[in-house]
Structure 1
Amino acid sequence: MADTRSGMREAKRLRSRRIRALLAAGLVFGVGATMTLAAWNDSEYGSTTFTAGRFDIVGATDGTTFSSHPVGTPAALTFTAPFNAMVPGSTVYSLFSVRTANPSVAGSLQLNVASTTGTGLATFLRYGVRTIAGTACNATTYAAGTSVVPDNSAMNTAGTVTQAVAANSGSTANYCFAVSLPAATDNTAQGLTAVQTWQILGTAS
């Protein structure tokens, strides 16, 4: 009996050691897991705000006083005499200057015809447009300019080339218009009128 009791006590001691060993291992594993979760970390972030640019063109009939002339409120071009009493063989001139506003991105300009109305004089008239170096629009500066609308074009003819304009009013396109009543115009043109509206279409670049 003594041997039996002694064996049981020894078995209990072994079980107790195993349980303590397992508990100790569990504590070690727990410490290891805690150390992994507590690892240090750091981050870097970058951010920016995007803003769309603006494109805006303005025009002036005198080359100096620029403002917007939207559809429905065109600038009144001032032609040289005798624009209001034209006779066969006469040619009249007018300046229209266009540039970007400030602020504005750069762009290009395209001259178009918006409308031609009146009582029929436009069918007799012929015109051309050139860009000139300064703001004095006359026969001399027109002759030295760069063609935008070919000479002797019908009044419904649009420009054939575009003009570049720099950002923030950095450059100006000075258009010199030359409108003629051909020398061979017959008497049926007497007293007729023509109301011509041009468009300068600007496109951002």
Structure 2
Amino acid sequence: MVTRREMREKRRLRSRRIRALLAGGLVLGVGAAATLAAWNDSEYGAATFTAGRFDIVGAADGATFSSHATTGTASTLTFQLPPTAMAPGTTTYALLSVKTANPSVAGTLQFTAGTPGGTGLAAHLTYGVRTIAGTACNATTYAAGTSVVTDGSALTAGGASTQAVSANGAAQVNYCIAVTLPTTALNAAQGLTMTQTWHIQGTSS
């Protein structure tokens, strides 16, 4: 015959076994969750960079462009009147066109003047520069142009403004240079000579 005390002991033992099994199951569950593998993915971006270049070229005829990077290789401008034909009150015109090479980035141009040479005629001359729509540089197109160097300036004066120049030679800037021997020129100007080199400074943008 089983006593009540023995029955209570059996119940306690059974309860302990159940709790032990449950505890084991919880521990097993935690261990299983900890061993699950995590999924992952990656994304990358890469680029290669190459520097562009800025290069301008010039032409005295508005069509045949090449590089004239130094004073020694300056393009020879063709004025309407030959150097020996200057007389008081006359103005002679010459074209100087500039554009970017292809390839080249866009930029701006600054018209500057060098120091005149010769035997002293520069002191008696004045000049002006305007940008014109086409390549015909004469009194008519000059009058309709946009001022770069003010008329009547000394040969040492440069332009106060800059001109935009398109990338890859897409458009050219046509400078019309007008050199004048004023009507007030003294007799001492006769027989004198002048040489001048103009400089177009290009800057990338």
The TM tier, using the shorter chain, reads 0.7 to 0.9
Match of 2:66 in 1: 67
In the TM superposition, what is the alpha-carbon distance from 1:34 to its structure 2 partner?
9.1
How far is 1:83 from its partner? 2.7
Q: Helix, strand or coil for the counterpart of 1:45? A: coil
Alpha-carbon distance in structure 2 between the residues aligned to 1:42 and 1:151: 71
Q: Deviations over 1:49-102 (max 9, x none)?
A: 111121111111111011110113111111011433311111110000011111
Rounded to whole Å, the distance in 1 between the matches of 2:170 and 2:35 is 65
Corresponding residue number in structure 2 for 1:19: none
Residue number in structure 1 paired with 2:43: 44
What amino acid maps onto 2:137 in structure 1? C
Alignment-derived partner of residue 134 in structure 2: 134
Alignment of 1:102-117 (within 5 A): 102-117=102-117
Contact 1:61 1:76 in 2 (8 A): yes
Residue 24 of structure 1 corresponds to which residue in structure 2? none
2:114 aligned counterpart, secondary structure:
strand
The equivalent residue for 1:178 is 178
- 1:125-175 C-alpha deviation (Å, 9 max, x unpaired): 000001111100011111111110010100001012111111111111100
Q: Hey, what's the Cα distance between the residues in 2 that align with 1:150 and 1:85? A: 24
Q: Which amino acid aligns with 1:55?
A: F
Counterpart position of 1:58: 57
Moved >6 Å (runs of 4+): 31-34
Equivalent AA in structure 1 for residue 42 of structure 2: S
Q: What secondary structure, in the 3-state scheme, does the structure 1 residue paired with 2:131 have?
A: strand
Counterpart for residue 189 of structure 2:
189
- Equivalent AA in structure 1 for residue 176 of structure 2: C
The match for 1:21 is: none
Is 2:125 the partner of 1:144? no
Mapped to 2, the partners of 1:178 and 1:123 lie a distance apart of 16
The aligned counterpart of 1:20 is: none
For 2:199, the equivalent position in structure 1 comes to 199
Displacement of 1:39 in angstroms is 4.0
Distance 1:143 1:74 in 2: 26
Identity of aligned residues (%): 64
Alignment of 1:164-175 (within 5 A): 164-175=164-175
The TM-score normalised by the length of structure 1 is: 0.80
Higher alpha-carbon deviation: 148-157 or 159-168: 159-168
CA distance in 2, matches of 1:45, 1:154: 62
Match status 1:123 vs 2:114: no
| Structure 2 equivalent of residue 6 of structure 1 | none
TM-score (norm 2): 0.80
Letter in 1 for 2:69: P
The unaligned stretches of length 5 or more in structure 2 are 1-27
In the alignment, is residue 156 of structure 1 matched against residue 150 of structure 2?
no
Instruction: Report 1:79-118 matches (<5 A).
Output: 79-118=79-118
Shift of 1:32: 6.7
Name the CA distance, whole Å, in 2 between partners of 1:64 and 1:35: 78
